[in-house]
Chains A and B, each alone.
Chain A
Amino acid sequence: MTEVCIIGAGIHPFGRTDGVSGLQQGVFAVRQALADAGVEWPDMDIAYGGSSAAGNADIMVNDLGLTGLPFINVANGCATGGSALYGAYASIKAGQADLALAVGFDKHPRGAFDPRPSDWGLPDWYGETGLMLTTQFFALKLRRYMEQFGISPVTLGRVAEKAFENGALAPHSWRKQPVDLDTIMNAQMVNDPLTKFMFCAPAEGAVGLILASAKKARELGIAAPVTLKAATVRTRPPGSFEVFSPSLDIDRGPSPTVIAAKAAFEAAGLGPGDIDVAQLQDTESGAEIMHMAENGFCADGEQEQWLAEGRTGLGGKLPVNTDGGCLACGEPIGASGLRQVYENVVQLQGRAGARQVEGARTAYSHVYGAPGLSAVTILQR
Chain B
Amino acid sequence: MPEMLADIAEGLLTHGAAPALIGGRDRSTGRIVFPCPADAERFEAVELPREGRIWSWTVQRFRPKSPPYTGPEAFEPYAIAYVELLGATIVETRLAGFAFDALKVGLPCQLVTEDFAGKRSYAFGPAEAGDGSRGDGIAGEGA
Which A residues form the contact surface with B (CB < 8 A)?
111-112, 114, 116-117, 123-125, 127-133, 136, 139-141, 143-144, 147, 188-193, 245-251
Contacts and interface: CB of A to CB of B under 8 A. Distances in A.
B27 interface: no
A43 B62 CA distance: 50
Contacts of A192: 57-59, 61, 100
Given A125-B121, A136-B60, A250-B88, A116 B67 contact: yes
A246 B121 contact: no
Range of interface residues on B (Cβ < 8 Å): 35 or more
Interface of B: 8-9, 12, 23, 31-35, 55-62, 64-65, 67-71, 78, 80-82, 84, 87-94, 100, 105, 116-117, 121, 142-143
Contacts of A251: 143
A360 to B, nearest CB: 37
Nearest to A111: B65
B132 to A, nearest CB: 20
B35 A129 contact: no
B64 A130 contact: yes
A144 B56 contact: yes
Contacts of B70: 128-129
Contacts of A191: 58-61
A152 to B, nearest CB: 14
A116 B62 contact: no
Nearest to B106: A147
B68 A132 contact: yes
14 contacts: A130-B60, A131-B93, A140-B92, A141-B56, A143-B58, A143-B105, A191-B59, A191-B60, A192-B100, A246-B91, A247-B32, A248-B89, A249-B89, A250-B88
Given A136-B80, A144-B56, A128 B69 contact: yes
Contacts of A144: 55-56, 82, 105
B89 A147 contact: no
Given A140-B57, A147-B105, A249-B31, A129 B71 contact: yes
A116 B90 contact: no
Contact of B61 (A131, A188, A249): A188
A123 B68 contact: no
